[in-house]
Amino acid sequence: MSIPSPPADLERIIEELRAAIAARDEFIAIAAHELRNPMTPIMGQVQLLLSRARREQASPNLLQGLETLQVAVDHYVHRATTLLEITRLNAEQVTLELTHFDFRELVRECARKYEQLAARAGSTLHCEVPPSPVEGTWDRLASEQILDNLVSNAIRYGDGKPVKIELTSEIAEVLLRVVDHGIGVAPEDRERIFQRFERAGGMPRSGGFGIGLWLSSKLVRAQSGTLELHSEMALGSTFTVRLPRDVRASR
């Protein structure tokens, strides 16, 4: 029994819907890019002012104001970056923008960015990187987004306990671990939390799009890497990212 072909009108409507979705995603990508770019130098200046204020032991009110500004700017940039990455993934094929850089600097930058957020959660953020450069070729924006999502997630569900970012360098790959000692993830939730708009049972719906781990897993795979979770209830979670030193050679 043959399946009848859809009416011509239906095919036209489907094509129009596809074109509309593509136009929407293109608009969001352009808007997110244009919103994010001007904030990068502002973020750098806020960090410099905050460092100077701490070094010169400025008044508590000034320090608090600068710290609040830094958190707000970082939050804004993170949201804009998330929208940008979502549109890249919605296109079903991520076009990587590969550059050569030292992954240590990305990890250190992330630690500085989230230090105040950790403090506000009653936690501390520790960063362990090798003494020598960890150079390779990756998509910097995608790698930054992976780090941001994993670290902010660890702070949010870390129950106020210390969070650690650990970078290890191997010959052909780098290993990135984000460790918390918080509420943990139940076995039945460990696959589901990597799906879009999902959280593990018992996790509070506190801010965010609910897509951080889904987005991270997609961006890791786009760079020919792996993302693994080891977790024990009430003891915490460890997310381990493995990325090849040169994404170009592994594609």
Distance CA 119, CA 158 (A): 12
Distance CA 67, CA 163 (A): 20
Residue 208 pLDDT grade (very low, low, confident, very high; cuts 50, 70, 90): low
- The CATH classification number of 8-90 equals 1.10.287.130
Residue ranges of the chain assigned to CATH 1.10.287.130: 8-90
Asked whether residue 209 carries a pLDDT value surpassing 60, the answer given is: no
Q: Look at residue 69 in the predicted model and tell me its pLDDT.
A: 84
Q: Are 63 and 53 in contact (CB under 8 A)?
A: yes
Q: Look at residue 53 in the predicted model and tell me its pLDDT.
A: 87
Query: CB-based burial of residue 237 (10 Å sphere; 0-12 exposed, 13-18 middle, 19+ buried)?
Result: buried
Global pTM reads 0.72
Residue ranges of the chain assigned to CATH 3.30.565.10: 98-250
Q: Look at residue 248 in the predicted model and tell me its pLDDT.
A: 84
Q: Which CATH class is domain 98-250?
A: alpha beta
Asked whether residue 202 carries a pLDDT value surpassing 70, the answer given is: no
Q: For residue 98, give the 3-state DSSP assignment.
A: strand
**Contacts for 176 with CB less than 8 Å, ≥ 6 apart:** 103, 107, 146, 147, 150, 165, 166, 167, 168, 240, 241, 242, 243
| Higher pLDDT among residues 63 and 121, named by residue | 121
- Each residue of 127-154: pLDDT tens digit? 999 999 999 999 998 999 899 999 999 9
Average pLDDT of 31-59? 79
How confident is the prediction for the chain on average, in pLDDT?
84
Distance CA 232, CA 177 (A): 16
The CA-based dihedral angle spanning residues 218, 222, 226, 231, taken in that order and rounded to the nearest 10 degrees: -20
Q: Look at residue 2 in the predicted model and tell me its pLDDT.
A: 55
Asked whether residue 88 carries a pLDDT value surpassing 70, the answer given is: no
